[in-house]
Amino acid sequence: MRLFSQSDVQGAMRMPDYIKCVEEAHHAHGRGHVIAPDLLHAESEHGEFHVKIGGFTGSRSFFGLKANGGFFDNTERHGLPNILGIIYLCDGDTGMPLAVMDSVAISRNRTGAATAVAARHLARPDSRTLTVCGAGIQARVQIEALQQVLPIQDVFIFGRNSQKVDEFAARCAAELALNVQSISDIAAAVATSDVVVTCTPATSPIIRADWVAAGTFIAAVGADSPGKQELDPRLISQNKVVADILHQVVRVGESQHAIAAGSISSDQIYAELGEIVCGKKPGRENDSEIIVFDSTGTALQDVAAATFLYELSQNENVGSEFNLFD
């Protein structure tokens, strides 16, 4: 069995690798070539735990489990990352353990990659203006990932801590060679944006439906557990919604709130991302439709990235060997 540290993961994979892995994962899901993904959620005093499972069938079968803790005051209280965890990968045919690895870099980057894959199919291809709600590590990853698939030029950053937002905007402008501005008027920024990303731990709407212009692509990333919410439920009930995993978004994604309000049912959600990636359903059909990607995160994305890393290690010196059964 191989062990991969966070530095092993960071040194071996780049954003284009994650985008490729995530697209392949959703293509397999759309074709039904998967071990069904699922999740568990548990609340703790200062945070929450997610356990996500899933895998792939085919010429070589893999199964994986990711266990993450989300403690959003970790950095301030303990000087630790807000998200910590591991991924366990095994042979899907025999159950043989293959690898254990740090999950932080994979979770972070596959989340941005999922937005990029969705944007490739659901955003207008000439989208140049982006608004991001959030000024943390995930916000940076989202911008980097979208740069890979869209001609992004102007980025507006909105957050609660104006000093943090200003510093984040300046850092992103320098690192990503973009026009990045911190803003306080979120409504005006959203109204002039082609793409909107929300990646916060919010539990009430940040984005109102009447702010959003025709043709906008919205990636709702932050709602991945019960009670989290970043969007006005009308954005879900009145527009085309694409889920990463349908049975997850109705439980823990943005869609949970519109369903709870009785304004939409689960069978009214347009598609899963995999159906669009593999061509079963069309993505964007015209330049005026507003499309929401309800992104809760799935182990299929984690397992695809973990499999990439494991297979890479068979030919390159990545990670270290550990005899579990010694």
Per-residue model confidence as pLDDT tens digits over 3-54: 999 999 999 999 999 999 999 999 999 999 999 999 998 999 889 999 999 9
- Do residues 156 and 267 both lie within one domain? yes
* Unique residue bearing structure tokens 């608004």: 131
In a domain, 41, yes or no: yes
In a domain, 92, yes or no: yes
Distance CA 51, CA 85 (A): 10
Q: Which of 26, 70, 17 is nearest to 280 (CA)?
A: 26
In a domain, 326, yes or no: no
Checking if the pLDDT of 326 tops 90, the result is no
- Do residues 40 and 162 both lie within one domain? no
- Do residues 31 and 68 both lie within one domain? yes
In a domain, 143, yes or no: yes
- Do residues 18 and 56 both lie within one domain? yes
**In degrees to the nearest 10, what's the CA dihedral of 197, 199, 204, 210?**
-10
Catalytic residues: 66
Number of structural domains found in the chain = 2
Q: Give the pLDDT score at 79.
A: 87
In a domain, 112, yes or no: no
- Do residues 48 and 144 both lie within one domain? no
Domain that holds residue 127: 118-297
In a domain, 33, yes or no: yes
What is the CATH number for 267? 3.40.50.720
**Please, what is the Cα angle at 38 between 222 and 41, to 5 degrees?**
55
- Do residues 79 and 193 both lie within one domain? no
- Do residues 97 and 188 both lie within one domain? no
In a domain, 51, yes or no: yes
In a domain, 113, yes or no: no
- Do residues 151 and 98 both lie within one domain? no
What is the CATH number for 23? 3.30.1780.10
The per-residue pLDDT for range 55-95, each reduced to its tens digit, is 999 989 999 999 999 898 888 888 888 889 999 999 999 99
Q: Give the pLDDT score at 135.
A: 96
Task: Output the CA–CA distances (angstroms, integers) from residue 212 to 132, 240, 254, in the order listed.
Answer: 14, 13, 16
- Do residues 173 and 78 both lie within one domain? no
Which two three-digit tokens encode residue 242? 């694409």
- Do residues 34 and 123 both lie within one domain? no
Q: Give the pLDDT score at 73.
A: 86
- Do residues 75 and 194 both lie within one domain? no
Evaluate the CA torsion angle 122, 206, 22, 181 in order and state its sign. Answer: positive
The per-residue pLDDT for range 184-230, each reduced to its tens digit, is 999 999 999 999 999 999 999 999 999 999 999 999 999 998 999 99
With a pLDDT cut of 90, the percent of the chain lying above it is 91
- Do residues 131 and 91 both lie within one domain? no
